[in-house]
Amino acid sequence: GESVGLHLPTLSVQEGDNSIINCAYSNSASDYFIWYKQESGKGPQFIIDIRSNMDKRQGQRVTVLLNKTVKHLSLQIAATQPGDSAVYFCAERGADGLTFGKGTHLIIQP
């Protein structure tokens, strides 16, 4: 089975609130993690990445946190907008390339 997974299949948030999407991984040897966003009918799109020697990385409105102790990854989206509605995947890089988690569907309520 897959070594990367997400805690919730669906996350519903109010527009303007912050969103937190979680991911658990099992391969402690993974050295690189990526978050992808997939909008309906489109391919996954790179959002932000983090290497295993870091515990936090910030982008524009997004922050990724990595807790290697508990093998947990999270994506925080500030001031969620309607355009953030999508399925979000975490992925880890191991010996065989990228392994994707199952995805969390982020729903934005007006």
Residue with token string 């990367």: 4
With contacts defined by CB under 8 A, how many residues of the chain interact with other proteins? 23
DSSP strand E in 26-103: where?
32-38, 45-51, 56-58, 62-67, 72-77, 86-94, 97-100
Residue 27 is given by DSSP the state -
Q: Which of residues 7-46 bind other proteins (CB under 8 A)?
A: 32, 34, 36, 38, 41-46
Query: From residue 68 to residue 107, what is the string marking binding to other proteins with x (rule CB under 8 A)?
Result: -------------------x-x---x--xxxxx-xx-x--
The residue type found at 58 is Q
User: What does the binding site for other proteins look like in residue numbers (CB under 8 A)?
Assistant: 2, 32, 34, 36, 38, 41-46, 49, 87, 89, 93, 96-100, 102-103, 105
